[in-house]
Structure 1
Amino acid sequence: MNNMVSDYPKGAPAQEQTHQPGDQDAMYPAPEIIKASHKGSGKLDGKVALISGGDSGIGRSTAVLFAREGADVAIIYLDENDDAAQTKKLVEHEGRRCLTIQQDVGDNDGVKKAVEQVIQQLGKINILVNNAGVQYPQEDLTDIDNEQLERTFKTNIFGMFNITRAVLPHMQEGDSIINTTSITSYQGHDQLIDYASTKGAITTFTRSLSTNLMKQQRGIRVNGVAPGPIWTPLIPSSFDAEQVAKFGKDTPMGRMGQPSEVAPAYLFLASDDASYITGQIIHVNGGSIVNG
Structure 2
Amino acid sequence: MGTSIPARHHSAPPRQADDTAQPAIVFKDAAIRRGDHLIWSHGDFTIPQGSVTAIVGTNGAGKTTMLKAELGLLAIAHGSVTVLGEPAGKANQRIGYVPQSYTSDIDSNLTAEQSVLLGLTGTKFGFHITSRAQRQQAREAMDFVGVADKANYRLSQLSGGLRQRVAIAQALVSNPQLLMLDEPLANLDLASQRATVHVLARLNHELGMTIQIVAHDLNMLLPILTGAVYLLDGHPHYAAMNKVLDAELLTHLYGTTVQVVTTPQGDMFVTPTPDEPAGMNQDTHAPDEVARFHHHAGEQHRQ
Give the structure-1-normalised TM-score: 0.32
Larger Rg: 2
Higher strand share: 2
